[in-house]
Amino acid sequence: MLEDRLLLWKFRHGSKDAFRAIYEKYAGDMLTLAGNLLDDKAGAEDIVQDVFIKLIESVDTFRLTGNLKSYLATCVANRSRDYIRRSIRQRNAMVKQAEKMSAEAKSMVHLAISSEQLQKLSDAMAELPYEQREAIALRIHGNLRFRQIAQLQNVSTKTAQSRYRYGLDKLRSTLNGEVKK
């Protein structure tokens, strides 16, 4: 964690290398997080780019209280929600076009996942209610604590834990059900 603070400190003092090191360290994890939240690879890439650009813009003013990965994960989660809201608005306006775009985006996601079981899991994740999917992705890919997830979702810690647990149960039963078939 201290290493991140030093990187941020150097970045704040003008070191491009320090920023690049932060990017190389976390961009992959953030892409995975955004990808799991959105089920849309192109959208996930846009969000990761936006989050790092935002970090550049705010580096002089923001103070890191926790760890950098959690901070970035929270930014990704917030932007993913905005992205989904925007997508829904667009979809309502142009349903057919949006469906086509969604199918294209999905096929790109599928390319990134090789195993059949993981593909099924990815599909099952996409079917989960957003709050449950978010709780799972933030916990597993963003390493956020339930307290932090609860804060982000504006619910109690217990609710965040329940969303996580229900989500996992659903994923497990979906995967088991498919195997039984």
Partner 1 sequence: MRPSENIEKLIKKLHYKTSAETHDKVLGNVMQALDKKQKQKPGATMPVLWRTIMKSPITKLSTAVVIIVCIALSITFMEKTVTPAYSFEQTLRAMQDLRTMYMVCKDWNGHEFEMWIELDPATGIPEYCRAYWPGIKVLNISRPDTSYQYSERNNQVQINSGKLYSIDIAPAKIFEQLMLASKEDPDSVVIFHERDRQSGKNLIVVITRGYKQSYKVYIDPETKLPVLMKGLENNLLGAVVKDIEHIEFNVDLPEDIFDFEIPEGAKIIDHDRNNRLLNNPQYGISTEGMTEQQAAETIATMYWNARIEMDAITVQTVAPLSPQTGADSSLEELVEVGTLYIQPGCGIGKLIPCRIRYKDGSLKEWKLVIKKRNIDGRPSCVIAGFYASPVEIEPAR
Chosen residue from 84, 140, 161, 162 binding partner 1 by CB under 8 A: 140
- The yes or no reply on residue 131 touching partner 1 (CB under 8 A) is no
- Min dist CB 141 to partner 1, Å, is 8
- The yes or no reply on residue 165 touching partner 1 (CB under 8 A) is no
Residue with smaller CB distance to partner 1, 123 or 159: 123
Using CB under 8 A, count the residues that bind partner 1. Answer: 46
Residue with smaller CB distance to partner 1, 41 or 148: 41
**121, HSE (Cβ side, Cα atoms, 13 Å):** 12
SS (H, E, C) the chain: CHHHHHHHHHHHCCCHHHHHHHHHHHHHHHHHHHHHHHCCHHHHHHHHHHHHHHHHHHCCCCCCCCCHHHHHHHHHHHHHHHHHHHHHHHHHHCHHHHHHHHHHHHHHHHHHCCCHHHHHHHHHHHHCCHHHHHHHHHHHCCCCCHHHHHHHHCCCHHHHHHHHHHHHHHHHHHHHHHHHC
- The yes or no reply on residue 84 touching partner 1 (CB under 8 A) is no
- The yes or no reply on residue 109 touching partner 1 (CB under 8 A) is yes
- The yes or no reply on residue 149 touching partner 1 (CB under 8 A) is no
- The yes or no reply on residue 80 touching partner 1 (CB under 8 A) is no
Instruction: Provide the binding-site residues for partner 1, judged by CB under 8 A.
Output: 2, 5-6, 8-9, 13-14, 16, 19-20, 23, 27-28, 31-32, 34-36, 41, 44-45, 48-49, 52-53, 56-57, 60, 109, 112-113, 115, 117-118, 121-122, 125, 136, 140-141, 168, 171-172, 175-176, 179
